Structure 1
Amino acid sequence: MNLPQAGETPPPWFATRLALGFSANFIFVGLYLPYFPVWLKAQSLTPFEISTVLSMSLVIRVLASGQVMAFADRYHDRSVLLSNLYVASALSVLLYLFTGSFWPILAVTLLYNFFFNPVLPLLDAITLAGVRRYGTDYGRIRIWGSLVFVLANLGGGWLLASGEPQLLLHAIIAAMVAGAAISFVIPRIGRRQAASPHGQEALTRRKLLANRPFLLVLAASGLGQASHALLYGFGSIYWQTLGFSGVFIGLLWAIGVFAEIAVFQYSKAVFARLSPVQVIAAGCAGGALRWALFPFVDGGAAFLALQILHGLSFGAVHIGLMHYIMEAVPEENLGAAQGAGFVLGGIAMGAGVFFSGPLYDGLGAHGFLIMTAVCLAALALLAFYRVIPTGPAAVVK
């Protein structure tokens, strides 16, 4: 259990301000993730070009985010760096207004993702530091991002129903600009001056990636999240082909996030009974079931029921990984740990998104069976994790 350290008092409204930061981030993500591919299709991009645009943004994550996160551990305050990156992201995303074809869209996507990709792991690192210092509840803070994600899904569905894809782009841009402004209320807690009670020697990202237990958990989590690549790239497009309205598509996304919210809400009770690695494994198993059923589901009610598994396939994997990092890595190295996870997750998701275009083009919904195999590969890695020396001490030594 992570207890507040003696003599440390959180800044005023600490949890509320972090919840606001997550909310601002997920207004953008809740619009971008389901509906940006729809806007790309409206610009006459092919499935291959759509998957290229989406996957190249993840290549930038691999090339830049790890270095930015490691730098954040040495920066005087992670929150200040976060705001600087957010402002640069907002200025970059405005350039979409001057695009309309593949190459300019790709260039703007690469530019804004260079700045924006580190924002969420920085916010996670700040929150995990608060969990360590002040005993705050990560799940209760992160849940607000998911709630706002639902509202953004529904709002984007309403815009999609209007039949004007350009409105989706305007909403995406407005959400990013609003997020940049809100980033200045995120608490400035600075770097810990005293050594972390968990800490021994400082851990670089290279040392973390050389540790087999840590590497296996991050790789399995990355595969679990990457199994969503086909859904993120072509889920809304596929549902359109089934004749679902924009509002109903927004509801489908929202139901999944409601399930995720339930996992976050009761995560404290879950972790009293299960280890973080067991929670990640449960999430990957839920993902395997979700994608195995996806091609054979027929009708709106069946899809609504199937979307509930998002609580496992995304929610359990994400919060399981956050708790694993929190228990295994000292505070002064949270940025490096988040960066390592972002690099591995970015590689897996980037490959998944890049191949999702040809996969959807060739197999349609049956491409989700490949995503089932990805989840099973993640479970195999976690099974191997059980036969080597593990535990927090194995990571921090």
Structure 2
Amino acid sequence: MLFSIPAKLWLSFNFITFFFIWGVFLPFWGIWLSDQGVSSESIGLLFSIGLLLRFVSNLTLLPMVSSAKSTLSLLRFLVFFTLLAFALLLFFHDYIWLAVITLVVNFMMGPLAPLGDLVGTRLVKQIQLDYGRVRLWGSLSFIVGSTCVGWLIVGSGNDAILWAIIAATLVMWLLSLLNLSPQLHDEIIATTEKKQSLFTLFKRPDVLLFLIIVGAIQGSHGAFYAFGTIYWNEVGFSGVTISWLWAIGVFAEILLMRFNKKLFTGWSIKQMMLLGLLAAIIRWLVFAFSENVYLLATFQTFHAFTFAVTHLAAIRYIALQKNSEMVSYQSLYSGVALGLMMAGFTYLSGIFYAQLHGHVFLIMSLLLIPVLFCIKIWKAE
């Protein structure tokens, strides 16, 4: 670790490389496994177990972080072994190896985005970082990753998927070795505050309400992530149209993160959460009853509110906590809200999609209505 770069630039590169990897892994890993001879049933099982392992790793590995130094150490460790695991697939092609390594990388990659967020929350306190303007590079990189590999597959075949992931993970690991300037403060070690256990924190009403609110809003995206493309294909939208609808949502998210300080400086956390919740209720209602591509494109821009505003509010809330509790809050947010509750909403949508098709979005909308009461009684700024 001989070189130092500005902390803001380091975090931007961290998000760029991780979300490039994620933009390749999430849409294309099933295709790569299928090309290796893995059945669709096995791929579905591996993805389901992988989701559970990401939940487990967030609740077991993140609480190991006790200082700024250990945050970066854990990130470097996980990136290195993720790189090693993917590299092994260049030499081992049996089903057992494919299955084991797929599960291992899910476990290792689970905490990587939360660790980046944890660095971000520290920098929000330390240098008044505009988190949204840094995080937007991750969203943009996700689009670049999925688009570039889509092109590479056409020209070079499915082997490009693995090589792209290995190359990006190598870059991420090398970047992780750089020092930050200024360095993160080891505030948690210096404090005399007792670190709260996850279970103790989870029992607190304010924390439980936070997880229910943010988990419900983010979890309601599960139906869209799993079945949005399938449903739009069923109603006759072309692949190009579907791609544009997805892109509109992500670009709206990027724009909001770019200008979030100007837009939400005077807003409270509860107001931001309420905006995200109301936008989600309306968005899923429209998706349930409309097949008009222009109307859908308009309400796809609500992704900026349903995902981005909710996430920014959650990060702001975590950054306000005591240093001794910040890691635990991040662990619960990543593991329970973004992991377990997302999995639950996705599973529920899978049960009903065959019978309801597009009306599965109505269920997502209706499930969010009681959360309005949770926001009302939640004690947050």
> Which TM-score band applies after superposition, normalised by the shorter structure?
0.7 to 0.9
Q: Contact 2:67 / 2:187 at 8 angstroms: preserved in 1?
A: no
Please point out which of 359, 367, 372 is paired with 2:360: 367
Contact 2:235 2:291 in 1 (8 A): no
* 2:323 corresponds to 1:331: yes
Q: Matches of 1:139 and 1:189 in 2, distance apart?
A: 19
Tell me which of 80, 84, 96 is aligned to 1:91.
84
Render the CA deviation track for 1:105-137: whole Å, top value 9, x for unaligned.
654332112111111111111111111112221
SS in 2 for 1:298: coil
CA distance in 1, matches of 2:287, 2:75: 37
Q: 1:271 to 1:303 in 2, by over 3 A?
A: closer
Aligned 1:104-123 pairs, distance under 5 A: 107-123=100-116
Aligned with 1:73: secondary structure?
A: coil
The 1:37–1:278 alpha-carbon spacing in structure 2 relative to 1, beyond 3 Å, is: farther
Q: 1:227 to 1:84 in 2, by over 3 A?
A: same
Q: How far apart, in 2, do the equivalents of 1:282 and 1:274 lie? A: 10
Q: How does 1:118-133 map to 2 (within 5 A)?
A: 118-133=111-126
Match of residue 47, structure 2, among 50, 54, 74? 54
* Cα 1:181–1:40 shift into 2, 3 Å: same
Q: Which amino acid counterpart does residue 186 of structure 2 have in structure 1? A: R
Contact map agreement 1:297 1:303 (CA 8 A) in 2: yes
Deviation at 1:326, TM superposition (A): 0.9
Consecutive unaligned residues in structure 1, runs of 5 or more: 1-10, 393-397
Alignment partner, residue 378 of structure 1: 371
Q: Root-mean-square deviation (CA), in Å?
A: 3.2
1:234 lines up with 2:224 in the alignment = no
**Which residues of structure 2 form unaligned runs of 5+?**
none
Report deviation, 1:267. 2.0
> How many residues were matched structurally?
373
Distance in 2 between residues matched to 1:45 and 1:366, nearest whole Å: 30
User: Which amino acid counterpart does residue 342 of structure 1 have in structure 2?
Assistant: S
Alpha-carbon shift at residue 323 of structure 1 (Å): 0.5
In structure 2, relative to structure 1, the CA distance for the partners of 1:252 and 1:161 (3 Å cut) is farther
**Letter paired with 1:142:** R
Q: Which moved more, 1:157-166 or 1:370-379?
A: 157-166
8 A contact 2:5–2:179 mirrored in 1? no
Asked if the contact 1:153/1:250 (under 8 Å) is kept, the reply is no
1:320 aligns with 2:322: no
Shift of 1:84: 0.9
Partner of 1:351: 344
Q: How far apart are 1:318 and its partner, in Å?
A: 0.5
Which is worse superposed, 364-373 or 234-243? 234-243
Secondary structure of 2:334's counterpart equals helix
2:129 alignment partner AA: T
C-alpha distance 130-72 of structure 1, shift in aligned 2 (>3 A): same
SS across alignment from 1:273: coil
Out of 198, 211, 218, the position equivalent to 2:211 is 218
Q: 1:342 to 1:194 in 2, by over 3 A?
A: closer
Contact residue 151 and residue 254 of structure 1 kept, 8 A: no
C-alpha distance in 2 between matches for 1:186 and 1:365: 49
SS in 1 for 2:266: coil
* Structure 1 residue 367: Cα displacement: 2.0
User: Pairwise mapping of residues 1-397 of structure 1 onto structure 2 (< 5 A)?
Assistant: 12-36=5-29, 52-74=45-67, 76-94=69-87, 107-156=100-149, 158=151, 167-168=160-161, 170-185=163-178, 187=180, 189=184, 191-192=186-187, 195=190, 200-242=193-235, 244=237, 246-298=239-291, 300-327=293-320, 329-345=321-337, 346-385=339-378, 390-391=379-380
Between the two proteins, what is the percent identity of the paired residues? 29
Q: Is the 8 A contact 1:295 1:366 kept in 2?
A: yes
